[in-house]
Structure 1
Amino acid sequence: MTKLRLSLLAFLLIGLLAACGEGAATTAPTANTAAAPTVAPTYEVDDPAVTDVPAAATTAPASGGAVDPSKLSPELRVFAWGEYIPEDVPAKFEEEFGVKVTIDTYSSNEEMAAKIRAGNSGYDLIMPSDYMVALLAEGGYLAAINPANIPNLANLNPENLGLYYDPANTFSVPYMWGTTGIAYDKTVVTPAPDSWAVLFDPAQVGQYKGRVSMLNDEREAIGAALRFVGNDINSTTPADLEAAKAALLAQKPFLAKYNSDNVYQDLASGEVVLAQSWSGYTGLAMVDNPNIEWVIPKEGGVIWQDTMAIVSGTPNQYTAEVFIDFMLRPEIGASVADFTYFLTPNTKAEPLVSPELQALYAKLVPDAATRTRLEWLRKGDNATLYSDIWAAVKSE
């Protein structure tokens, strides 16, 4: 694989999001309780190029400004997707600020949302995907973010901001983005697939029985089934969802598992040779298994963006905003990209991404024709219908 030039990477990033027309991913602790802040060292933003930062109070972490140690809490509790934060990042934050970061993980937006909606989750910061930001904000579960405390917002690509789910970025900050499609082992799955039919048509998927997986994600799995049967990926029409349910039930006997946690490991090892997957997970599998290939089906795939958002009512909002700002530092953003193999929205992190990952982007970033087939998952009306369909599929 050849090394991609940064300019190409930036062009593809802008083109993908613009083409989609939307510019402009364990047991909870006890509930948060207010505590005396731990004294932490002050710091200055070490990138002198950070400009155009909103005016802020003297306590805000701005370019040349400092964090106010008296406002920091002794602990920050984060609820995130599995394997989404590099292992050394919490320790780096604690070393610099004296704040212990506890991270618990979830496998789907719905799993996370159920705990947040139940109340007293104990979490300060979560990482909802685009459509879930809209749902949680609508329900009053997210706090409005103070951008004055996050000067590194200036590092984000404008094309990743102002999207449909949070037009003013009132409640969320972009973390990573990517696409959803099909990963397959080219030495086993032949001919090369170009349609969701390879996962849903019994005559096709049956050839790989027991070596196939789908994402353990109700919106992703049902969305793929909706596209296979020829319906809108965000449809909430009962008849459309029943058709998707039937496709999922017909598919189920051929599956090895539903897996959103480590599908890349299954693909790399050969345990699974055909999978609905996220682009970053596919990239991770490609590193260990060069036979893994990636395709966005002709019927259409998904474009998505995961975010950082603060749980409404947390007494640790300032600390959460300092953590978000920390995650938006260029070197931390690059570290996250290299760890997850997803696409970074951080333009200043792009030059720091490893050459190996930049080379993989040649396979993972879609071309112009493919970009026209990518859709956002949206919250829609009667969104609970998806949960009902998914529960029925999983229970049979």
Structure 2
Amino acid sequence: MNPLSRRHLLRALGGGAAAAALAGCGVPAAYVGPGDRAARDRSASDHRLTFANWPLYIDTDEDDKSKRPTLDAFTKSTGISVTYTEEINDNDEFFGKISPALMNHQATGRDIVVVSDWMAARFVRLGWVQEMDRARQPNVAKNLDPQLTTPAFDEGRLHSVPWQSGITGIAYNKKRLGREIKHTGDLWDPRLAGKVTLLSGLDESFALLMQGDGVDVTRWTADDFHRMCDKVEKQVHKKQIRRFTGNDYIKDLSTGDVLACQAYSGDVIQLQADNPDIEFVVPEEGAELWAESMMIPNLARHKANAEALIDYYYDPHVAAELAVWVNYVCPVPAAREVLAASKDKDRAELAEDPLVFPDAEMRQRLAIARDITSEERLEFAKRWNAIVGL
């Protein structure tokens, strides 16, 4: 099963603009200093925690959908009960839900939250999340994918730990198209006119399109951004692009209304189960590697319990169970060996899927994009949303 509702578009200046205004220039008014982020930790006497995540983003029991085997096993082994909520449907919406408490130095009632990297960057800049104690997290220290350890927004991954990762690349119907796609520029082939979609969200779409122009997205510039927008604008005017989408590109690709599109790796694994003609490609110019990360908000009452749960999911056997369910890029490469040793054919095959465990050749073409800064966001969102029609 695949969580289709996680990576949504940046609303037309709405939540994005409000968040940018909060971030301001330099040290924002809503910024919380390191000394004001921690509350008295009740973990030793209060064996529980609250975990806020996206829908359909964890393993569930096939016979009883209310049960989550890996969480149940954690509670059984540690005695820590977990209140698990599927309340995050959109990064900006969730930001709006908990920001009043955080900016006013109040507890959110949550011990772990999961947000996309670009939103995680905002939380780190605002000082709204706590630094984790890696001495309590040996599995994270040992097993975190090296390619995910040094995002620009959180040096050393001190405030965030990936829950799952993924790739933004290109999906296409090889049989209907009649040829392979190898480059981002192949989307602009006149034979595909009106049969191409791009993602509508600025944060979700810009990196792959820049990479298609040969840009190093770890250190892109405003000139790179506007040059990319110029190119996309030209393709809109030529009617090359059918429309800009959220996750509804899945339906367009399935029905054949679209032959090639920007897409997320995990979605395509699910599509391929129903249609083996669907292909996912990491273009030769590169694709974006992203993560949705666990963070501990300021004034969380069960920080040590939260750190224990985060570390638990970095045990390769637990990570393997999660990978089987969600089918995104597993942030624990050692989980591959666990699945490869399985006597279950489907599990063993998953270990060989490069969209779950990218091989060395694919990894050379993956990069984590530099985040859009608070100073850039208003200008860039305005330009992008005008192109998209938001």
- Fold conserved between structures, TM > 0.5: yes
Distance in 1, matches of 2:157 and 2:313, equals: 17
Distance in 2, matches of 1:273 and 1:143, equals: 44
Other-structure match for 2:229:
245
Other-structure match for 1:198:
186
Which 5+ residue runs of structure 2 have no aligned equivalent? 1-6, 9-40, 62-66, 103-107, 340-346
Do the aligned partners of residues 268 and 234 (structure 1) sit closer, same or farther apart at CA in structure 2, a change above 3 Å counting?
Answer: same
Write the letter of the residue equivalent to 1:93.
L
Write the letter of the residue equivalent to 1:373.
R
Do the aligned partners of residues 363 and 238 (structure 1) sit closer, same or farther apart at CA in structure 2, a change above 3 Å counting?
Answer: closer
Distance in 1, matches of 2:364 and 2:255, equals: 33
DSSP 3-state at the match of 2:171: strand
Do the aligned partners of residues 77 and 251 (structure 1) sit closer, same or farther apart at CA in structure 2, a change above 3 Å counting?
Answer: farther
DSSP 3-state at the match of 1:145: coil
Percent same amino acid at aligned positions? Answer: 24
Other-structure match for 1:360:
353
Deviates more, 1:119-128 or 1:327-336: 119-128
1:333 offset after TM fit, Å?
1.1
Which residue, 260, 270, 280 being the options, matches 1:274? 260
Do the aligned partners of residues 226 and 148 (structure 1) sit closer, same or farther apart at CA in structure 2, a change above 3 Å counting?
Answer: closer
- Asked if 1:379 corresponds to 2:354, the answer is no
DSSP 3-state at the match of 1:106: coil
- Asked if 1:226 corresponds to 2:210, the answer is yes
- Asked if 1:83 corresponds to 2:75, the answer is no
DSSP 3-state at the match of 1:360: coil
Which residue, 133, 157, 162 being the options, matches 1:174? 162
1:316 offset after TM fit, Å?
3.5
- Asked if 1:71 corresponds to 2:63, the answer is no
1:324 offset after TM fit, Å?
1.5
Q: Could you give the per-residue CA deviations for residues 8-60 of structure 1, whole angstroms, max 9, x where no partner exists?
A: xxxxxxxxxxxxxxxxx79xxxxxxxxxxxxxxxxxxxxxxxxxxxxxxxxx9
Deviates more, 1:381-390 or 1:165-174: 381-390
* Structure 1 residues 6-45: aligned runs within 5 Å: none
Other-structure match for 1:187:
175
Write the letter of the residue equivalent to 2:348.
P
- Asked if 1:292 corresponds to 2:278, the answer is yes
Other-structure match for 2:297:
311
Other-structure match for 2:322:
336
Do the aligned partners of residues 153 and 361 (structure 1) sit closer, same or farther apart at CA in structure 2, a change above 3 Å counting?
Answer: same
RMSD: 3.6
Write the letter of the residue equivalent to 1:294.
F
DSSP 3-state at the match of 1:101: strand
Task: Indicate if the aligned counterparts of 1:155 and 1:347 stay in contact, CA closer than 8 A.
Answer: no
Do the aligned partners of residues 346 and 363 (structure 1) sit closer, same or farther apart at CA in structure 2, a change above 3 Å counting?
Answer: closer
Higher relative contact order (CA 8 A, sep 6+): 2
Do the aligned partners of residues 216 and 257 (structure 1) sit closer, same or farther apart at CA in structure 2, a change above 3 Å counting?
Answer: closer
DSSP 3-state at the match of 1:71: coil
Do the aligned partners of residues 278 and 324 (structure 1) sit closer, same or farther apart at CA in structure 2, a change above 3 Å counting?
Answer: same
1:114 offset after TM fit, Å?
5.2
DSSP 3-state at the match of 2:325: helix
| Aligned length in residues | 324
Do the aligned partners of residues 207 and 349 (structure 1) sit closer, same or farther apart at CA in structure 2, a change above 3 Å counting?
Answer: same
Write the letter of the residue equivalent to 2:139.
N
Do the aligned partners of residues 376 and 363 (structure 1) sit closer, same or farther apart at CA in structure 2, a change above 3 Å counting?
Answer: closer
Write the letter of the residue equivalent to 1:126.
V
Task: Indicate if the aligned counterparts of 2:145 and 2:332 stay in contact, CA closer than 8 A.
Answer: no
Distance in 2, matches of 1:110 and 1:247, equals: 27
Other-structure match for 1:145:
132
DSSP 3-state at the match of 2:87: strand
Other-structure match for 2:89:
106
Do the aligned partners of residues 296 and 236 (structure 1) sit closer, same or farther apart at CA in structure 2, a change above 3 Å counting?
Answer: closer
Which 5+ residue runs of structure 1 have no aligned equivalent? 1-24, 27-59, 61-66
Do the aligned partners of residues 360 and 373 (structure 1) sit closer, same or farther apart at CA in structure 2, a change above 3 Å counting?
Answer: closer
1:360 offset after TM fit, Å?
2.6
Task: Indicate if the aligned counterparts of 2:337 and 2:351 stay in contact, CA closer than 8 A.
Answer: no
Write the letter of the residue equivalent to 1:296.
V
Task: Indicate if the aligned counterparts of 2:151 and 2:368 stay in contact, CA closer than 8 A.
Answer: no
Do the aligned partners of residues 321 and 235 (structure 1) sit closer, same or farther apart at CA in structure 2, a change above 3 Å counting?
Answer: closer
Write the letter of the residue equivalent to 1:84.
Y
Task: Indicate if the aligned counterparts of 1:152 and 1:329 stay in contact, CA closer than 8 A.
Answer: yes
Task: Indicate if the aligned counterparts of 2:59 and 2:321 stay in contact, CA closer than 8 A.
Answer: yes
Write the letter of the residue equivalent to 1:391.
N
